[in-house]
Amino acid sequence: VDSYKVDGFSQKHVLITGCDSGFGNLLAKQLDRKGFQVMAACLTEKGAADLAATASPRLKAFLLDVTDSASIRKAVESVSREVGERGLWGLVNNAGRSTPIGPSEWMKLEDFTKVLDVNLLGVIDVTLQFLPLLKKARGRVVNVASILGRLSLTGGGYCLSKWGVEAFSDSLRRDMQHFGINVSIIEPGFFKTNVTRIDLIDANLRRLWSRLPQDVKDSYGATYFDEYVKAQTFSMGLLCSPDISKVTRCMEHALTARFPRTRYAAGWDAKLFWIPLSYLPSFIADFIVNVILPSPKQKM
């Protein structure tokens, strides 16, 4: 049953957000090679130009800011003209950002909203605006969550946003099944993409630490920051897989299978470690996570 495919790829339009790099970029090329009519949304002109240069003339790369409703409306108008009465077969909400992440006490409200605006509210806005076109095609919505939508390992907006994507996707799936729309959730483990770039994470952690009041820094201790960065670097190096096709194969299955799954866990760490850990009692999961991260100097 898992291997049964829909047909007529060349007549099916798929819109993917976040195609400048990473999962979205690879998926756009992958589906283009399969014959799909791919519409690849990029945040930067360079990202759009680079992608278009490596794909067939069928692929249309364009600019889209998922945090800007007007930008989304413009994309809907353009896509609507392109797809006509066939509608939109697939929407892949892939655009995302990870930073700022770190201990919750180091954050300000805007640190949360920066991430939530892209990873959660952007997903919701894009989906709602494209739903009429998806209903026409009785199509597919593929939302990229994370294994951190099952287990919160760090403070900041990232885990919150991915839990939100899980919840939004579950409610959307139940609402839209009456109209023949399938909704799938992709739950990647750790992969080498811009989201997990340790230099970006390091720079953001330094920014957060540098603005903390001295009494807060003192409560963590002089060595805490360096130990925290070291723990992040070690865990990313250990866990991050360079083979991002493990994720895009899940996305492709969700778009092409006759019976797509509700959830796809991608990566050995997701399947063998994080998902089992998420089912354990909280105090056990907390203990295991705390083994990885350093403890503040003034812990009670």
- Active-site residues, by number, are 158
DSSP state of 118: I
**Helices (runs of H) and strands (runs of E) counted in the chain:** 13, 9
* SS3 state at 197: coil
Any idea what DSSP says for residue 194?
G
1 contacts 259 by C-beta, under 8 angstroms: yes
Q: What b/e sequence results for 173-192 when a residue is b if at least 16 CB atoms lie within 10 Å of its CB, and e otherwise? A: beebeeeebbbbbbbbbbbb
Q: Which residues contact 61 (CB under 8 A, 6 or more apart)?
A: 19, 28, 40, 41, 42, 47, 48, 49, 51, 52, 55
Q: Tell me whether strands 155-156 and 101-102 are parallel, antiparallel or unpaired.
A: antiparallel
